[in-house]
């Protein structure tokens, strides 16, 4: 498929980048501050996109954020009216830390239900590949004054998704998002998030998601294989708490800094 023939599935509304600032824990009734690069703002003109992300962008926690497989965070603009209805306020100005805010064309959102890990797209002059849904960070709760915000992001499936950069290029607001190659496994980013983070004992769902194992993060694949083995051996018992377990939310996020804590990894 030539670039001219590639189907346009979305448009870039904003390219958003930002440096490292601070978030106040007082927004959720705690004390102290934490470094964060969630305060991203729209950029004018073309922004260079390289292997590790957009020029002028930063990550405060490089151990858990950023890298080649999380070079770009995409968030569909169609989700913001839903958040406004649920939260009673518009959070689109501050956003959810995305680098690309996009809108689908033809009335179809380019969102977690529409993309699959392994899909390849042309965005502006850059070539990118979908890698995984975002696992939201606890800092979203601080940014929006809502402790459960990260867990609600997962529970709704409105996570956004990450891109790896296959060919650097330039991206600006108004650029088209074009299909280059679609993955063949049929597992959407929405389904990966659902099985990985919400319905953790869904053995059939795990088996389905594992058909995309070759394009998913290795840690996720290992965890899903372990869960599937547990389901087979003990009839579905899973010692891990669901992502939306209210009891887990009562703990300080700093004490839960491990791979399976949805609020730490983004």
Q: Percentage of residues in the chain with pLDDT exceeding 90?
A: 67
> What pLDDT sits at residue 237?
44
Q: Are 137 and 261 contacting, i.e. CB atoms less than 8 angstroms apart?
A: no
For 127-182, the pLDDT digits (tens) are: 999 999 999 878 888 888 888 899 999 999 999 999 999 999 999 999 999 999 99
Q: Percentage of residues in the chain with pLDDT exceeding 70?
A: 83
* Cα distance between residue 93 and residue 104, in whole Å: 19
> What pLDDT sits at residue 250?
34
Cα 239 to the center of its chain, rounded Å: 25
165 strand-pairing partners: 128
For 85-143, the pLDDT digits (tens) are: 999 999 999 999 999 999 999 999 999 999 999 999 999 999 999 999 999 878 888 88
CATH topology of domain 8-185: M1 Pyruvate Kinase; Domain 3 (2.40.33)
Average pLDDT of the residues in 23-51: 89
Please give the model's pTM, rounded to 2 decimal places: 0.86
Domain ranges across the chain: 8-185
Whole-number Cα distances in Å, 84 to 87, 94, 95: 5, 13, 12
Tokens 């669901």 belong to which residue?
242
* Cα distance between residue 198 and residue 242, in whole Å: 6
> Which helix (DSSP H) or strand (DSSP E) does residue 223 occupy?
helix 218-234
Burial (Cβ within 10 Å: 0-12, 13-18, ≥19) of residue 106: exposed
């Amino acid at each position: 498929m030539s670039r001219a023939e590639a189907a346009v599935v979305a448009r870039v509304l904003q390219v958003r980048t930002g440096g490292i600032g601070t978030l106040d824990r007082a927004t959720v009734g705690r004390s102290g501050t934490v470094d964060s690069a969630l305060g991203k703002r729209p950029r004018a003109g073309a922004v260079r996109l390289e292997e590790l992300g957009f020029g002028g962008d930063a990550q405060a926690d490089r151990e858990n954020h950023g890298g080649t497989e999380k070079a770009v965070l995409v968030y569909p603009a169609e989700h913001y009216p839903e958040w406004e209805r649920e939260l009673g306020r518009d959070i689109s100005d501050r956003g959810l830390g995305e680098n690309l805010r996009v809108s689908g064309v033809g009335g179809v959102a380019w969102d977690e239900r529409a993309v699959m890990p392994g899909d390849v797209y042309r965005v502006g002059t850059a070539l990118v590949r979908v890698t995984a849904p975002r696992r939201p960070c606890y800092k979203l709760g601080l940014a929006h004054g809502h402790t459960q915000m990260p867990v609600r992001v997962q529970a709704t499936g409105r996570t956004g998704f990450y891109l790896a950069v296959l060919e650097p290029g330039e991206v600006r607001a108004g650029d088209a998002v074009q299909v280059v190659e679609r993955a063949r496994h049929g597992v959407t980013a929405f389904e990966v998030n659902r099985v990985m983070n919400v319905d953790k004992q869904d053995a059939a769902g795990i088996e389905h998601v594992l058909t995309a194992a070759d394009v998913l993060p290795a840690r996720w694949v290992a965890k899903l294989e372990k869960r599937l083995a547990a389901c087979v051996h003990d009839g579905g018992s899973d010692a891990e708490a669901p992502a939306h377990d209210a009891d887990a939310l009562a703990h300080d996020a700093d004490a839960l800094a491990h791979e399976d804590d949805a609020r730490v990894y983004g």
